[in-house]
Amino acid sequence: MVIMSRYVPEYWACRDDSSNAKSRFVEVLNFRHFYQHYTFDPVDDLARNKQIKDHVMVSVVFRVDTVDT
């Protein structure tokens, strides 16, 4: 097995400008975290309604980048 090392410039590391790169999000975990907190929902330009909520939805995702070679 031969391992070849090449220098990759820092601006090439992300490869955001590549036209054949595709990314998608894979959801790993989705759950409801319970705790009380306040939210302020807008009613009109100057008024807001204060509400007490008891949970927040949490979603854990991975971004998967694939490139055709």
Question: Where are the chain's structural domains?
Answer: 20-67
21 near 14, Cβ under 8 Å?
A: no
Does the structure show a pLDDT above 70 at 42?
Answer: yes
| Average pLDDT over every residue of 33-55 | 91
Strand-pair partners of 65: 23
Residue 65 pLDDT class (50, 70, 90 cuts): confident
Residue 52 pLDDT class (50, 70, 90 cuts): very high
| Average pLDDT over every residue of 43-66 | 89
Could you give the 3-state DSSP secondary structure of residue 3? coil
Does pTM top 0.85 for this prediction?
no
30 near 60, Cβ under 8 Å?
A: yes
